Amino acid sequence: MPIITVFSGIFCKEGPVIREVLDRVGYKLVTTEAIVAEASRLSGMSENKIARAFAAKTSVFNKFTHEREHSIAWLKLALSGKLSEDNLLISGFAGQLVPREISHVLRVCLIANLRFRISVAAQEQGLSEKDARKLIRVRDADCAAWVKTIFGVKDPWNVSLYDIVIATDKRSIKEAATLIDENVNKDVLKPTEASRRQVEDFHLAARVEVALGKEGHDVRVSARDGSVTLTINKHVLMLNRLEQELKSIATRVKGVKSVVTKVGKEYYKTDIYRKYDFEVPSKVLLVDDEREFVETLSERLLMRHMGAAVAYDGESALNLVREDEPEVMILDLRMPGIDGIEVLRRVKETRPDIEVIILTGHGSEADRKICMDLGAFAYLQKPVDIDLLSDTLKKANEKIRRKKVAKG
């Protein structure tokens, strides 16, 4: 039997429609939450970290760490392992990862007009119109970002992405379920030997993508009957060296018969290919109100393959710590508003695993003692030798990695 995927806007009666369909066709429900849990089990990453791949807002560190792309690779691996089964209904974001080449899939979209969704929000969650509008806007932004990531299409409800688009403000739950039931039994959706092979190809591509991600790489992977194609979409100076490294990793994956590399249409744009180096910190937060200094420092660290985000005051830094996951902070003491010592105190109270390096031009011995007592990793004076700072950052990174290993 074909697979059904259902992608729905929030407050579009997704739950009732899916339950009605399951009652009629007897399928097994596979939720996106279940795929996230399996990806977490396979990767050792937390479910929360993997689920962040669905959010419109991307980590400021992602261009250095590729965490979102690696999460998606693990999601593909978890999903591809399920697709060999029959009679599945896959709900939510995960269903969009099923390749278009797998033909025995009925792709369903549920959507409704805003007024209807606001009324459903009030019925189901007791939300006010203002709160409902806000939540719908946020969730729709997540849907749009996800679809753009997978398909390069801005509209998450674009009819070209689906076999059926159902307006749940115009059809009842039973009518929607009937439409799905009638279409899933059509001959064109029956599994074939070719479509089954496409499932195997998807699984192989996912395993290769995960293997590359483990080595810090981010390229697009496709497979056909054991032949793997790696597409490089970001510019790199030594292309041949990168191609050889990618091929070396991919050929070690079981089931791979051959590997070819090519450059994609994004290759000649301005973004630069960056391999994630696990030996150096790539989630460094620089906090300093001297803009020229901190931007220059960020560039110098990047030349040493250390990714850094910048905050120009204490409040912005604390907001970034709450919203993101920096591993190391380089913190100035003398800043307007919340000063460096107070930032250090709050960070160590809420995120004690973040290593904080004090870098100041106006500190005293008393300041140094206060900072070290509060848990600072190191206390350095401006102007700092970049090699000394790099070495200190590497030592902080080593400490972080040891902690992670100890935690299992």
In this structure, the dihedral spanned by the alpha carbons of residues 284, 286, 291 and 296, taken in order and rounded to 10 degrees, is: -40
CA distance 193 to 206: 20
Comparing C-alpha atoms, which of 75, 86, 105 is closest to residue 5?
105
C-alpha–C-alpha distance, residues 120 and 12, integer Å = 8
Please tell me the distance from the alpha carbon of residue 20 to that of residue 13, in angstroms, as a whole number: 11
Using a pLDDT cut of 70, give the percent of the chain over it: 97
Least confident range of 105-109, 191-195, 223-227, 332-336:
332-336
Compute the average pLDDT of residues 25-38: 98
Q: What is the pTM of this model?
A: 0.84
Domain ranges of the chain: 3-189, 193-263, 284-407
The residues facing 167 across adjacent strands are 111
d(CA 182, CA 180): 6
Q: What is the pLDDT of residue 266?
A: 72
Assigned superfamily of 3-189: P-loop containing nucleotide triphosphate hydrolases (3.40.50.300)
Same fold, 3-189 and 284-407: yes
pLDDT tier, 265 (very low <50, low <70, confident <90, very high otherwise): confident
Q: How confident is the model at residue 401 (pLDDT cuts 50, 70, 90)?
A: confident
How many CB atoms lie under 10 A from the CB of residue 170?
11
Which residue has 């279409």 as its token pair? 183
pLDDT tens digits along 101-112 = 999 999 999 999
Average pLDDT over residues 61-66: 85
CATH for 284-407, among 3.50.50.60, 3.40.50.2300, 3.40.50.12280, 3.90.730.10? 3.40.50.2300
* Confidence band of 303 (pLDDT split at 50, 70, 90): confident
Pairing of strands 227-232, 220-224: antiparallel
Distances (CA, A) of 275 to 33, 141, 150, 280, 316: 29, 29, 21, 12, 28
* Reported CATH class of domain 193-263: alpha beta
